[in-house]
Amino acid sequence: MVTERSPLVALTDRMAREGAVSVEDWMGACLAAYYGKGSAIGAKGDFVTAPECTQMVGELLGLWSAVVWRSMGCPARVLLVELGPGRGTLMTDALRALAPVPPFKAALEVHLVETSPGLRVRQKEALRESGVAVTWHDRVEDLPDGPMILLANEFLDALPIRQFQRAGQGWRERLVAPREGDPPFAFVAGSPLTDRPALLRPAHDAAKDGQVVEVCPAAHETVRWVSTRIVEQGGAALFLDYGTARSAPGDSLQALRRHAFAPVLADPGEADLTAHVDFEALAGTAVDAGARVDGVMRQGPFLQALGLEQRAQTLLASAAARQREDITSAVRRLIDPAEMGTLFKVFGLRHPALALLPGF
């Protein structure tokens, strides 16, 4: 439901005045309202992320960060940054796993980029006993200077996209317009565009008449900023998300509610909206900014390379029967090609002087 405090109010007022808006503007308003509640993630929410499946993901990424820090020459001060930290589960598990690496834990400053007040409350609760000072920011641009190791799990897929439809030899932008009835919105085609849309890849030109292609300006801005920062001040970044290794036409916008697919245009602000990440396009942006790109790699082999199955065996050795079932199920979910192992990809960025990142 739309409330007076919802970001959707400004959008619905604008649509009443102007009519249709871009998918990007509509999706952005819906996501701001949705994540502002802070109740999206977990068994009682609408979806579960990899770190919520098992502590092993956060532990492995924490140790991954320590290895990267050593390859950086063990700087006395380093930022450990997470974008979109959800309920704080990944960072909590990562910091706990760093107990055997006290020099790294002493050197790091934890910075979380999070816009949702509700999720910030949950993150503070999760990290209260971590023993590390944590600072929150609304934007990556607000991070302080210094070498940086950045983690982002299922962050890029939740950034608002623009959609374009092939129209003969040209393009129209796909828009969202208000309508009477249920759902309260409908997709409509905008006027023919005089120029080829920005950020389109050569592969998008293969789209057939009426077919949709997607670009994500916010994802490109984020990757460009992170890449430039790494090149100028040192460090590395790791993005884990679901999407395609190669650019291609296709409509991937989807809604999730109570762990099931839902109609995209129904119940604005009440469902999670995501779209597949175009890793090839983002890799191009990173390279243009001067960063080295490792990946794009399937999540299953990446986590196996980091030692997921060995860590699972250690936990199984002292686990109760129910815990053993949960651990085995989590490993299968993370690496099985039919589940998260193939659709989810891993994408690494590093300073040109750094060696190949662990796991690649």
CA 201 to chain centre: 21
Identify each DSSP E strand in 197-325 by its residue range: 212-215, 235-244, 254-257, 260-262, 272-274, 277-278, 292-298
Distance of alpha carbon 165 from its chain centroid, rounded?
25
Residue 25, domain CATH? 3.40.50.12710
Domains of the chain: total: 1
pLDDT of res. 101: 96
d(CA 156, CA 278): 10
Q: Is 358 within the bounds of a domain? A: no
Total-model pTM: 0.93
- On whether residue 168 sits in a domain, the answer given is yes
Kindly state the tokens that stand for 330: 């989590």
Domain of residue 136 covers 1-353
Mean pLDDT for back-to-back runs of 10 residues, the chain (360 residues) = 64 91 95 78 67 94 98 98 95 96 96 93 94 95 98 96 96 95 91 95 96 98 98 98 96 89 89 95 98 95 96 94 92 92 94 97
Residue 254: inside a domain: yes
327 burial (CB, 10 Å; 0-12 / 13-18 / 19+) is buried
For residue 27, the model assigns a pLDDT of: 95
Residue 240 lies in a domain: yes
> Is there a domain that residue 360 lies in?
no
Condensed to tens digits (0 to 9), the pLDDT of residues 78-116 reads 999 999 999 999 999 999 999 999 999 999 999 999 998
- The pLDDT, as a whole number, for residue 48 is 75
Residues in CB range of 165: below 8 A, 6 or more apart: 171, 172, 173, 174, 189, 210, 211, 212, 213
User: Over the stretch 150-177, which tens digit does the pLDDT of each residue have?
Assistant: 999 999 999 999 999 999 999 999 999 9
Closest alpha carbon to 238 in 31, 55, 60: 60
Classify residue 308: in a domain, yes or no: yes
